[in-house]
Each structure stands twice: as C-alpha cells, then as structure tokens.
Amino acid sequence: MELQFLGTGAGVPSKERNVTSIALNLLDELGVYWLFDCGESTQHQILRTPVKLSKTNKIFITHLHGDHIYGLPGLLSSRSYQGGVTPLTVYGPAGIAVFIRQALAISGSHLNYDLCIEEITSEGILVEEQGFVVEARRLEHRGECFGYRITEPDQTGTLLVDKLQHEGIKPGPIYSQIKQGGAVELPDGRTIQGEDYVGKSIPGRVVAIMGDTKPCQAAIELARDAHVLVHEATFASSHHEHANDFGHSTSAQAAQIAETANVRTLIVTHISSRYQGEDVDVLLSEAQAIHKDTYAAADFWTFRL
C-alpha cells in the first residue's frame, strides 16, 4: 500500500505544485489504484508516475471546487485510450454526476468502459471490497465536503513455528494448512486446531484522507488511530484567521487533529501557492512542534505504509 501524491497545491497550480490529487496504490492488495480528487492536469501528472489509468477503478471526490474536479473529464476520456476497459466508479457530493455527464456529452467524449457515478447522500460506509472498507464523513468547508477513511482487513497472525516443532510437527505443506485454521489431521494421526498455532491477527492499516476543512470533530473521528492521516495545511499559523474564514486549516491545526486522533504519521498537503521553496519549512516545523512524525507532501512524492 502506497500513497502517490500527484498534486499538492491549493486553489491554483504553481510552478512547484499542481492542484490536488492523490493515488492510493493497492496493486499488491487488490490489483488496482484508487484516486482521491482530480484537479486540473492530473492526467499529465500521472504520466510522470507508475500510476496506470487502466488499473484505476475508483475515484473519490471530496468536494466540487475546481481545483479538485477540473481534471476529471479529460482523465475519464483518456482512460479509454490507455487500455481502460474495466468499470470505473466515481464517488462524490451531489452535483458530481451532472458535472461529469455534461462535460462528456458536450465534448462528444466516448468511453470504452462502464462509468458509474455514485453521489454521496449520507455519511457512512461507501465501499466494502475484499475486506477493504471506505467510510465517508462530512467535513467543515465552504459547501459540502467529505473526508474518507480507508481500512484494510486484518491479516492472519504469524505461524507459531517454535510451538509446532516443540510438539514434533515438522515443516512442510502441513504448515500452510495449519495457518488456515480449523481442524488439521497430522501424518501421525493426531488432529489439532490450526488457530492454536497461529499468533494474534495483525490489524489492517488505516489511511485517512481529508478534503478541504477547518478543524472539526468529523476529521478526528475519521483519523482515529490511523496509520497515516493526509490533511490539508493551506496556511501557516500567522494566517489562521484567513484559514478559518475560508474553511481551511493551518499546519498546526492539522497537527493537533493528528495528536488528538492518535495518528501515527501525518502528511500535510493542499499548500497555498504563497509558500514556495523553503517557505514550506515554516508549515512543516509548526506541525512537527505538535506532532513529530509529520511530512510535507510534494508533487510526485510517495509514502509507503
């Protein structure tokens, strides 16, 4: 599982940062990519990464501001020319269907795959796929905006090899059967219960990806005990009033959310174009003063869980 940052800027693109888009690499787990937001030129950014549109089967839109959706029509159309024939589903607030359908119709675009658009009408679980769960909650921004929590299924615990060998059960194909649990008949005629020889299950990883938001309780709940929280940090603390007026967060506020929610790693993104070059260090240092394990995302940067 890996996060690939395609665009990390806020509002408008700059020379250093394109507008918002993040790809979640689930090739090892599900054989696909999931995309979160799709700002203008997202498909151009993808060309510079390993991300494959043909293997992208879900797009989650946080809200309908242009810097989060203007790249959708072009990307959906280009997917047909890049071998994309499998169904794709777009999730987003009310209005996303009209935007996509009209843009494709007016431009005469033809898709070689089935496109499903699901508008989010209530909070809760959106997706359950092979044990993966995606939950959505409303955040506090100008207009309806959602954050997403992605939870991986728990993994089977490690095989207790020392215990098996102590009881005279030698290595071989029988070990695979034991790890699956249930009754297992041994070559010597004994029957054992596989779960007695497997350690505690390993909790699945949790990734929380926020849309634009001022600090709110929903963000804390989505991020609770997450391995990684991706949170906007549009401004430094010196502009906290401006951030509040426009429904955004400072980097320090994002860090406080991470601390309150007991998050392991915080990644701040959606950074205003006023912060160029080393100016971003101000945002990062303010966040790290509150939550030490914090990174500032940059375009084309990846984070592997």
Domain 2-155+202-304, second-level architecture: 4-Layer Sandwich (3.60)
What pLDDT is stored for residue 31 in this prediction?
Answer: 98
Given a cut of 90, is residue 16 above it in pLDDT?
Answer: yes
Is 188 labelled a binding residue?
no
Helix (H) or strand (E) holding 283, with range, is helix 280-288
The predicted model scores a pTM of 0.91
Is 212 labelled a binding residue?
yes
pLDDT band for 125, please (50, 70, 90 cuts): very high
| Range 262-287 average pLDDT | 95
Domain boundaries, the chain: 2-155+202-304, 161-197
Residue 131 near residue 153, CB atoms below 8 Å: yes
What pLDDT is stored for residue 150 in this prediction?
Answer: 98
List pLDDT tens digits, range 144-198. 999 999 999 998 888 888 998 988 888 888 888 888 888 888 888 899 888 888 8
Is 63 labelled a binding residue?
yes
Is 270 labelled a binding residue?
yes
Give the catalytic positions in this structure: 67
List the end-to-end C-alpha distance of the chain, in Å, as a whole number: 6
